Amino acid sequence: MTCRSVILATGSYLPEKILTNKDIEKLVDTTDDWIVQRTGIRERHIAAPGQATSDMAIQAARRALEASGLTPNDIDGVIVATTTPDRSFPSVAVCVQAALGLRAGPAFDVQAVCSGFVYALSVADSFLRTGVMKRVLVIGAEKMSSLLNWEDRTTCVLFGDGAGAVILEAQTESDSGILSTHLYADGKFRDLLYTDGGTSTTGTSGHIIMHGKEVFKNAVTLMSEIVQEVLDKNTITSDQIDWLVPHQANLRIIAGTAEKLNMSMEKVVVTVDKHGNTSAASIPLALDTAVRDGRIQRGQTLLLEALGGGLTWAAALIKY
């Protein structure tokens, strides 16, 4: 029988502090109206100064582990998608491994910015289907606030912090699981969205610089193309998708993808209004939100899609 990577449980964490658009009006020349109209964002969570990405990842992982009913000893490995690690090294994944008391096994970070969680899912899926691991913890965790220039209104209004996690298990007797993953990057677009610093250049992490309009145009086109590829590869039609769980960067991009799929917004999980863009954390945060509030049910088909700096873009079709 085919071996599939099944989502056993989800978990997520958002920092306590909420920064509203009104709060940001006091920092830069912007308005609540502009932010809502252009992005759909109303508020975002911001990590406390001493709170690192691993602290959020650990909380999300604990909640996923609790929901799964498993013990730390049942988990074989940890993959964390992040662009904002605590330190250049070691990885956030080893911090999670130590905090949860997991036994020795593979633990590493994946960096594909906003597409990172789907990339990490795909890597985990390969490990599970080839028998390298039986159960793996996959996390998306970001402290994007640490990459923001709080004087740049074109970026500081967009991002937030948080973490989401899933536990995947290799199963041969289930028709649920990851049905396909689709990963892309095109480095010729690397200067559309980047940080103006880094370990081997400035020795600092730098701040986010984004050519928003160009990223927006590419996002609309590339998301339309990749969702079509997912449908074709799986020989399904969009009416067979129960939930679109997109990367949460901009409500207009999300609505454009839903329109391309002929899907009503009622079948789209939207968290961008409350979370802002949390990069690699946005999809697992959205997934956990909709699982816990009962919208996403076992047996339903989920389409995940994301685009981020690189440019990278990715999608996954999952039977939950």
Give the residue numbers marked as catalytic. Answer: 114, 247, 277
Closest to ligand UT7 by CB, 37 vs 130, is: 37
Q: How far is the CB of 308 from ligand UT7 (least distance, A)?
A: 4
User: Alpha-carbon distance 57 to 274, whole Å?
Assistant: 19
Least distance (Å) from ligand UT7 to the CB of residue 292? 24
Our finding on whether 26 is near ligand UT7 (CB under 6 A) is no
String marking each residue 221-260 x if it binds ligand UT7 according to CB under 6 A: ----------------------------xx--x-------
- 264 vs 242, 243, 259, CA distance in Å? 10, 10, 7
Binding residue for ligand UT7, selected from 67, 114, 263, 290, defined by CB under 6 A = 114
Task: Based on the shown chain and the rule CB under 6 A, indicate whether residue 212 belongs to the binding site for ligand UT7.
Answer: yes
Which residue has its beta carbon closest to ligand UT7? 212
Does 219 sit near ligand UT7 (CB under 6 A)?
A: yes
Least distance in angstroms from the C-beta of 154 to ligand UT7:
4
Place of tokens 């979370």: 275
Q: Residue count of the chain, please give it.
A: 320
Residues 39-98 binding ligand UT7 (CB under 6 A) are 39
Note the Cα 177 to chain centre separation in Å.
18
CA 290 to chain CA centroid, Å, is 14
Do residues 241 and 261 lie in contact, with contact meaning Cβ atoms separated by under 8 Å? yes
Residue 212 phi, psi dihedral angles, 5° rounding: -55, -45
CB of 51 to ligand UT7, least distance (A): 22
How many Cα atoms occupy the beta-carbon half-sphere of 191 within 13 Å? 1
* Count of beta carbons in the 10 Å neighbourhood of residue 1: 8
Residue with smaller CB distance to ligand UT7, 71 or 150? 150
When asked if residue 308 is in the footprint of ligand UT7 (CB under 6 A), the reply is yes
- Which residue has tokens 């339309």? 224
- Candidate residues 112, 124, 157, 220; the one interacting with ligand UT7 per rule CB under 6 A: 157
Is the preceding omega at residue 311 within 30 degrees of 0, hence cis? yes
Which C-beta is closer to ligand UT7: that of 58 or that of 253?
Answer: 253
Q: Looking at 89-97, 171-179, 209-217, 290-298, which segment touches ligand UT7 (CB under 6 A)?
A: 209-217
Residue 228 CB, shortest distance to ligand UT7, in Å, is 19
Shortest distance (Å) from residue 210 CB to ligand UT7:
6
Q: Does 285 bind ligand UT7 (CB under 6 A)?
A: no
Q: Which is nearer to ligand UT7, 128 or 208 (CB)?
A: 208
Q: Is 34 in the site for ligand UT7 (CB under 6 A)?
A: yes
Q: Which residues bind ligand UT7 (CB under 6 A)?
A: 30, 34, 38-39, 114, 153-154, 157, 212-213, 215-216, 219, 249-250, 253, 277, 307-308
